[in-house]
């Protein structure tokens, strides 16, 4: 996996971009009842430790960003391709395709809603 797609590196880049030290981030996480040492944050940033969904959500709150900021749309393949590569049955692939289309509609509706709300 290329370095720019590693979540730990993105966390570090965002943290540094916001001018926050690891200690300050850990302090802000503690305010959200996420107990993490500075050393643990360092391991996450260096991709030596994985991050839980709860920790990632808390970091999003600390950084005041959307969780999607950690993921590039262009790097993700569609779900059908993802499951096809793993040799799932055609029936499963058809169901995944339907779900994927539903998610796209929901995402589009959310974008429209947010745009209308801003006007």
pLDDT tens, position by position, 72-116: 554 456 776 766 766 778 888 888 888 888 888 888 888 787 777
pTM over 0.95: no
Q: Cα Rg for the chain, rounded, in angstroms?
A: 18
Contact 22, 42 (CB under 8 A): yes
Residue found by looking up tokens 């169901």 in the block: 95
81-93 pLDDT, tens digit per residue, is: 766 766 778 888 8
Domains of the chain plus CATH, in order, are 3-70 (1.10.260.40), 77-118 (no CATH)
Contact 79, 99 (CB under 8 A): yes
How far is 7 from 14, CA to CA, in rounded Å? Answer: 10
């Amino acid at each position: 996996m290329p370095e720019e797609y590693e979540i730990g590196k993105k966390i570090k880049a965002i943290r540094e971009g916001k001018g926050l030290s690891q200690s300050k981030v850990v302090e802000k996480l503690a305010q959200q009842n996420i107990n993490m040492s500075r050393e643990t944050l360092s391991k996450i940033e260096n991709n030596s430790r994985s991050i839980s969904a709860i920790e990632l959500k808390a970091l999003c709150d600390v950084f005041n960003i959307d969780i999607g900021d950690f993921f590039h749309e262009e790097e993700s393949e569609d779900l059908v391709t993802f499951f096809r590569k793993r040799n799932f049955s055609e029936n499963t692939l058809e169901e995944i395709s339907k779900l994927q289309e539903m998610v796209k509609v929901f995402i589009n509706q959310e974008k429209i809603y947010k745009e209308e709300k801003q006007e």
